[in-house]
Amino acid sequence: MDKQKNRSILYIAFHYPPIVGSTGVHRSLAFTRYLSTQHWQVNVLTASVKAYNKWSADQYAFIPKEIGVIRAYARDVAKSYAIGGKYFSFMAQPDSWQSWIPAGIVRGYFSIKKHNTSTIISTYPIASAHIIAYVLKKLTNADWIADFRDPMAQENYPSSPTKKKIFLWLESKIIKHCRYALVTTAGAKAYYLSKYPQTHQDFWQVIPNGYDEQIFAEVEGNKSENNKSSISDKKNKNENHLTLLHSGVVYPSERDPSQLFLALADLKQSGDISSDSFSLRLRATGHDHLYQPRLAELGIDDIVDLAPPIPYKQALEEMLNADALLLLQASNCNYQIPAKAYEYIRSARPVLALTDPKGDTAKLLLEAKTGLIAPLDDKMLIKKSIMQLVDQVQSGTIEPASPEIIRQYSRDYQAIKLESLLEMHHS
pLDDT in tens, 229-267: 444 444 444 677 999 999 999 999 899 999 999 999 999
Collapsed DSSP state (helix, strand, coil) of residue 181: strand
- Distance from C-alpha of 367 to C-alpha of 401, rounded to nearest angstrom: 10
Nearest partner of 283 among 312, 254, 252, 253, judged by Cα: 312
Nearest partner of 408 among 207, 146, 124, judged by Cα: 207
- Distance from C-alpha of 189 to C-alpha of 172, rounded to nearest angstrom: 16
Number of other residues whose CB lies within 10 A of the CB of residue 289:
9
- Distance from C-alpha of 400 to C-alpha of 234, rounded to nearest angstrom: 20
Contact 212, 411 (CB under 8 A): yes
pLDDT in tens, 105-134: 999 999 999 999 999 999 999 999 999 999
Contact 145, 120 (CB under 8 A): yes
pLDDT in tens, 135-194: 999 999 999 999 998 899 888 888 899 999 999 999 999 999 999 999 999 999 999 999
- Residue 293's Cβ-count burial label (10 Å; 0-12, 13-18, 19+) is exposed
Q: What does the pLDDT read at residue 232?
A: 44
Task: Provide, rounded to the nearest whole percent, the portion of the chain with pLDDT above 90.
Answer: 72
Strand order in the sheet with 278-283: 304-307, 278-283, 242-247, 324-328, 351-354, 372-374
User: What are the chain's domains?
Assistant: 8-210+410-423 (3.40.50.2000), 213-407 (3.40.50.2000)
Q: Average of pLDDT values for 383-399?
A: 90
Q: Average of pLDDT values for 350-367?
A: 94
What lies within 8 Å, CB to CB, of 54 at 6+ separation is: 19, 20, 21
Confidence of residue 3 (pLDDT cuts 50, 70, 90): very low
Nearest partner of 153 among 179, 171, 175, judged by Cα: 171
- Distance from C-alpha of 30 to C-alpha of 301, rounded to nearest angstrom: 38
pTM recorded for the entire structure = 0.83
Nearest partner of 103 among 176, 57, 48, judged by Cα: 48
- Distance from C-alpha of 22 to C-alpha of 125, rounded to nearest angstrom: 11
Ordered DSSP codes for 275-314: TTTEEEEEE--S-HHHHHHHHHHHT-TTTEEEEPP--HHH
Q: Is the dihedral of CA 255, 126, 34, 182 positive or negative?
A: positive
